[in-house]
Amino acid sequence: MRAKRVSLFRRGAGEAIAATIAFAVLSLAIAYIILGAVPRLSIAPSTASGAVLGGVEQLVVIQREMEVGSNRTIVIEVLNAGSAPVRIDAVLVTVGGTPLLVRLGSKSICNSTQPGVLVPRSSTIIICSRADYKPVGIVTQGGKVFVVNPRIEALFEKPTGIPMKTLYGGVTVTSTSSLLRLLYNKTIVYSGAINTTIPMKLLLNKSSEYVNAQLSASLVVVGLNPVNGKLNILIIGNATSGNSITVGNDAVDLSRAGALRYRLKIENFTGVIQIGSSPAGPGIYPCLINTGKSCRVTISSSEPADIIRLYTNTTTLTPQAVGLDPYIFVGDIDGDGNTETIFVTQDFTTGNSGSVNDVNKRFNRVALDSSLKPVRLILSTVNGSQYSAAVLSIRFFYWDNSIDDISDNDNRVIVRAGLLDTATGEVRYSVALSYYELCRYRHPPFSISYVTKDFMIYIPSENKEFQVFIELADPYSNTGNRNDADILIGLSYIGMSLVSR
């Protein structure tokens, strides 16, 4: 009966122990599960605090160009504009368009000038040592990405200069033929341009021929064609005995044909031109004006010249209209690579208010040339809805054959520039140079002195096209001994700056 009691007790204790053990196992299992879950739960807070961190991180990223060593590279400047310190972990770069993430570090391709923590209001510059790596953004330790933000930058554009378009200059034109395309009225080259007291006819008009001549000249203009290095020549004078010219197979006894006056134009000449006793280069040779005597000019081609035109006097005694061709010359007369366009009505002598200025003394015939139509060049077009004003810069030289200027000649307009209504041809705005101003830019006897003037041109506020023009005119034929000036005017450069509306 004791054994029974003992086993009963033993059974009770055993049950207690079993229960305890079971509980313990169960508890451990639960504990393990719970503890296992804890790390996951604690990720949330750390993520949350990371989110908190990312939430207040505010960085501004700006792309700059900097001198690094001897090269200019693209770098980014990172400014901490927020209120929390930030650590930059990586740089986002583009390599030929493809994005790449580069970790920052001392041994990395990309480095920060302020490694470590970026405190609020401070900045750092991230430079990548490879030139093809263009940094565009950064990634913070908080996991937030900041890239170059175009809205944060305002470009302050500072123009480096005033743009001036060359309307005439350099090699815009190289010969009279190329000047044609700028002429407003192209028919005036052949007729109706100049009223002259000694009319001329085109005696010879040849192309690609050898030309040789011996001439007595009063005024010679020699200019370079900068494109091909050949010469353009204009020889003005009245022929004396022994003067002759041979073009190809045609020989002309100039002493008969051009005794009153002649003008010889040669374009693209290769060979020797001798004025006096020495070979002549580019320039203006005012033989009769400066020395009182004509020069002896000798021409011999070594290659065919492109164009040879010889104008000689007709027998008409009354004034007649002729074309512009013999009065216009294109060439670089001072060897600076810039061709001048010269309009010359001067032939022989100078004069004053007591005499007619330009006279062939040998035959006592006045050689007065004046414009029937101005030499008008169209340089450009502008639209009145786009531009409100223009500034024209003109470089030119002027000479006339009057010794006593304002006593001899009235104050007529010689140069005019401005705007034409393309549709109607009406002059809408113009500035002008009149005789009283121009005659002060020249010094007797003859020399070239350049003048540069700027003109402000007002563009009417109309949605239409205007042509920018310049025109030259010799407005003096004569009234007795007055208003008889002949001129020589050379255009060297015309530039235009536009002002947008």
Partner 1 sequence: MSRLLRKGVSTLILAFLIAIAVLSVFTYLVLSMARATQIAVTGLRSVVEYSYKASPYSLALNETGRGREIVNLGGSDLVIDRIVVKSGDWLEVLTPQEVGCSGNVIKAGSSITCTPPPTCRAPCEFIAVINKEGVVVNIYKPLIRARTLNVTTMFLIAITFDMISPQDLVQEFNVSPSLVAKPYPNTPSIVGMESGDKLLLLPRGQESEFYNAPVYTDPGNPLPFGVAVVGYDPSWVKENRSGIKIPPRFSLLIAGPKSPGTGFNAGNKRISLAENGWRVLINNFTGYVKIWRGSQVIACSSTRPQDCSGVSLPAVGFWYYGVDQGLNLKIEFNGVASYVANFMRMSSSQSPTRETSYYPYLYIGDVDGNGINDLIFITEDVYYGSYDKIDDMWPNEPGKPNDYSDYSTQPLELKLMQIGRALGNQDGSIDGSMYSGVLLYMNILFHDNSYPDVNQLRDIDRTDWVLRVVLLDDKGYEYIVREYRYQEICNYHKSYVTDFGRDNYFVKLSQTVYIPIPGPGRYWVAVVFQDPYQSGKTNDADLTVGVELIGVTPFYR
- Residues in region 467-496 near partner 1 by CB under 8 A: 475
How many CB atoms are located within 10 Å of the residue 255 CB? 16
At 254, the amino acid letter reads L
Binding residues among 15-34 for partner 1 as defined by CB under 8 A: 15-16, 19-20, 23-24, 27, 30-31, 34
* CB nearer partner 1, residue 177 or residue 434: 434
Question: Prior bond to 445 cis, omega within 30?
Answer: yes
Residue type, 413: V
How many CB atoms within 10 Å of residue 226? Answer: 17
Q: Is 168 helix (H, G, I), strand (E, B) or coil?
A: strand
Mind giving me the DSSP string for 289-323?
HHHSSPEEEEEEEEE-EEEEEEEEE-S--S-EEE-
The count of chain residues that interact with partner 1, using the rule CB under 8 A, is 77
Stretch that binds partner 1, among 316-324, 329-337, 359-367, 459-467 (CB under 8 A): 459-467
Q: Could you tell me which residues come within 8 angstroms of residue 127 by beta carbon, excluding any fewer than 6 positions away?
A: 66, 68, 73, 75, 110, 111, 113
Q: Hey, which residues between 88 and 147 contact partner 1 (CB under 8 A)?
A: none
Nearer to partner 1, 3 or 154 (CB): 154
Among residues 13, 117, 180, 272, which is the contact residue for partner 1, using CB under 8 A?
13
Find tokens 């990312």 and name the residue. 54
Of 54 and 281, which has the nearer Cβ to partner 1?
54
Site string for partner 1, 398-427 (x = CB under 8 A): --------xx--xxxx--------------
Task: Please identify, using beta-carbon distances, which residue of 70 and 160 lies nearer to partner 1.
Answer: 160
Q: Which of 70, 157, 364, 443 binds partner 1 (CB under 8 A)?
A: 157
Contact status: 186 vs partner 1 (CB under 8 A):
no
Is position 433 an interface residue for partner 1 (rule: CB under 8 A)? yes
Residue 9 in contact with partner 1, rule: CB under 8 A: yes
Q: Is the CB of residue 47 less than 8 Å from the CB of residue 55? A: no
User: Among 152, 171, 180, 251, which residue interacts with partner 1 (rule: CB under 8 A)?
Assistant: 152
The C-alpha atoms of residue 312 and residue 239 are separated, in whole angstroms, by: 10
Residues 369-388 that bind partner 1 (CB under 8 A): 387-388
Q: Are 50 and 71 in contact (CB under 8 A)?
A: no
Task: Please work out, in degrees rounded to the nearest 5, the angle formed at the alpha carbon of residue 126 by the alpha carbons of 109 and 97.
Answer: 65
Judged by DSSP in three states, 13 sits in helix
- For the record, the structure tokens of 168 come out as 């005439």
- Smallest gap, in angstroms, from Cβ of residue 232 to partner 1? 31
Q: Residue 83: helix, strand or coil by DSSP?
A: coil
Question: Is 12 among the residues that bind partner 1 (CB under 8 A)?
Answer: yes
Can you read off the two tokens belonging to residue 48? 């949350």
User: Within 35-94, which residues bind partner 1 (CB under 8 A)?
Assistant: 38, 41-42, 44-49, 51-52, 55, 58, 60, 62, 64, 81-82
Min separation Cβ 154 and partner 1, Å: 4
Whose Cβ is closer to partner 1: residue 273's or residue 468's? Answer: 468
- CB neighbours of residue 52 within 10 Å: 13
Minimum distance from residue 153 beta carbon to partner 1 (Å): 6
Considering the complex, state which of residue 9 and residue 190 has its C-beta at the smaller distance from partner 1: 9
Distance of closest approach, residue 132 Cβ to partner 1, in angstroms = 23
CB-nearer residue toward partner 1: 77 or 209: 77
Please give the residues from 250 up to 279 whose contact with partner 1 meets the rule CB under 8 A. none
153 counts as binding partner 1 under rule CB under 8 A: yes
Phi, psi of 90, rounded to the nearest 5 degrees: -145, 160
Shortest Å, Cβ 77 to partner 1: 8
Q: How far is the CB of 140 from partner 1 (least distance, A)?
A: 15
Please answer whether residues 378 and 182 qualify as being in contact, where contact means their C-beta atoms are separated by less than 8 angstroms: yes
| 137 CA to centre of own chain | 39
Contact with partner 1 (CB under 8 A): which of 314, 445, 453, 465?
453
Piece of 95-103, 251-259, 343-351, 429-437 that binds partner 1 (CB under 8 A): 429-437
Of 312-351, binders to partner 1 (CB under 8 A) are none
Where residue 172 falls (left for φ over 0; alpha for ψ -120 to 50; beta otherwise) is alpha
40, burial (CB in 10 Å: exposed 0-12, middle 13-18, buried 19+): exposed
Which residue type sits at 352? N
Q: Which is nearer to partner 1, 74 or 433 (CB)?
A: 433
**DSSP secondary-structure letter at 25?**
H
Enter the DSSP assignment of 17: H
Of the candidates 151, 174, 273, the one whose C-alpha atom is nearest the C-alpha of residue 221 is: 273
Site for partner 1 in 210-229 (CB under 8 A): none
Q: How far is the CB of 368 from partner 1 (least distance, A)?
A: 16
